[in-house]
Amino acid sequence: MTVVGLVSAKHSPGVTTAAVALALAADDGSVAVEADPAGGDVAARARLTMDPGLLTMAAAGRHAASRLSLQTQSLSSGVDVVIAPADPGQTSTALAAIGDRLPGAVREHGGGFLDCGRWSSMTTTTSVLSRCDLLVMVTDPSVASVEHVRCRVDALLEIGPPVALLLVGDRPYSAEEIEETLALPSLGALALDGRGALSVYAGPPRVARKSALCRSARAALDRLSNLTAVSEVPV
């Protein structure tokens, strides 16, 4: 029942796709939740409506935790998602209403991955992240991106939960090199797999699960399990 909050630094792509791929690879009913104040992408990528989703969850108010299953939609790949509107104003309003209850709702549902978008000390998602079991900084392994992560690490650690890295691609530097540079544990690297990224949103389950992206997400989950066990993070 682990709840993982995923964020990125300035130049780092792929947080939404990482959350969906990890939920798919988990294959245990884990949900992917869009909790990015900048707005959601899943509805457009998967051609889904906004209802149900984050807006209807916000309307449910204090009953949201016990009714998360009523706020999800299923992607054709088999992943359950809570969709946020593309409009930043609508998403920010919904998060202001129920953001601090989102991790608890996901935990009661059985666990999952929250896409909290780009993060800085000024972000409005700190209350969401503070209630997660693990925070994962998604970054590409470039010098510029690593420097943006480095500038945020101390503030991110102050939120409370343990922090780990997840790379998107393994060039020009490896996960081991980035892990040593930033002194943070790494979950490894997700494959740069364009077709796989499309399949986790709109492909049949068999194709999506066999993609290089999903296979690499499965390896990241193995490392995540080891990390949470060592850190004695509640699961």
Per-residue model confidence as pLDDT tens digits over 39-75: 999 999 999 999 999 999 998 876 655 579 899 999 9
The CATH number of the domain holding residue 101 is 3.40.50.300
Looking up tokens 């494959």, which residue turns up?
191
Burial class (CB in 10 A: 0-12, 13-18, 19+), 15: buried
User: Which residue segment(s) compose the domain that 194 sits in?
Assistant: 3-231
Burial class (CB in 10 A: 0-12, 13-18, 19+), 140: buried
Per-residue model confidence as pLDDT tens digits over 118-154: 998 878 899 999 999 999 999 999 999 999 999 999 9
Give the residue among 149, 119, 55 at the shortest CA–CA distance from 93: 55
Give φ, ψ of 55 to 5 degrees: -65, -45
Between CA 217 and CA 18 the distance in angstroms is: 8
Between CA 190 and CA 60 the distance in angstroms is: 35
How many structural domains is the chain composed of? 1
Per-residue model confidence as pLDDT tens digits over 151-209: 999 999 999 999 999 999 988 999 999 999 999 999 999 999 999 999 999 999 999 99
- CB atoms < 10 A from the CB of 45, how many? 17
